[in-house]
Amino acid sequence: MGKRCEATISKNSHCQIRRFEGPKSRNKPRPTGSKNRKFMLKKLFILAATATSTALLVPAVSPPAPSAHKTTKQKTWADKLNFLLPVLTMPAAHAEGEYWDPKLLPGTEPYPLTGKTIDGKELSLANYKGKVLVIDFWATWCGPCVAEIPNVKATYEKYHDQGVEVLGISLDSGQEPLDKFIADRKIPWAQVLDRPAGDEGNAKRYGVKAIPFVLLIGKDGKIAAVNPRGEKLEPAIKEALAK
């Protein structure tokens, strides 16, 4: 503790941790105990909020789950840090297209989706034929992903009756945090718990290296838009519905 983190902000709003160095003044008293944790966490939240909009996926690495024997207070701190660490440990930003398979282009056929939804239904893109489908690669530990959910939910509720569906492809390490998050946030659309990083899961098949990643599939079953996040989502959906 007592170290200061400097971050480089790139044009693509990613955060690169550049270096760690000691405090500028050794005479300045350092916060201790819970005050120190609050001080450091506040710094981390400010850094995460201003520095990034994408969390990189690290192969074969998942955020650690809080130990069952920890106190409620310890779990709270662990949960907060697990939420931030994937954001704050990412390398330098690359061009956006390097975060997914470059063959994913509007007008092309999407790759197959395999597995089962968390309620046990077999997953297939054929089930969404004639619908406009939003495929959302995400995780509960990913801050930028969680920040996107209110927009996705509002758009889903607005256009669901017109034939819009959402499918979440979760990269969580287990189903328990996913189930709890979905229940707490009242997320109504189907979810798939993807295979761990490094296995032949849907994220690997689509070449997804950073989340959130959104793919919009049109009524004809072809890709309508690639990564239409935030304010780009609703116009892309309206355009796909009009075709």
Q: Is the pTM of this model over 0.85?
A: no
**Structural domains for the chain:** 4-88 (no CATH), 96-242 (3.40.30.10)
In single-letter form, the type of residue at position 168 comes to G
The pLDDT value recorded for residue 214 is 96
CA pair distance 30, 204, nearest whole angstrom:
44
Residues 6+ apart with CB under 8 A from 76: none
SS3 131: coil
User: What are the pLDDT digits (tens) for 97-125?
Assistant: 567 888 999 999 999 998 899 989 999 99
User: What are the pLDDT digits (tens) for 157-169?
Assistant: 999 999 999 999 9
Low-confidence ranges of the chain (pLDDT < 50): 1-26, 49-52, 58-70, 86-95, 198
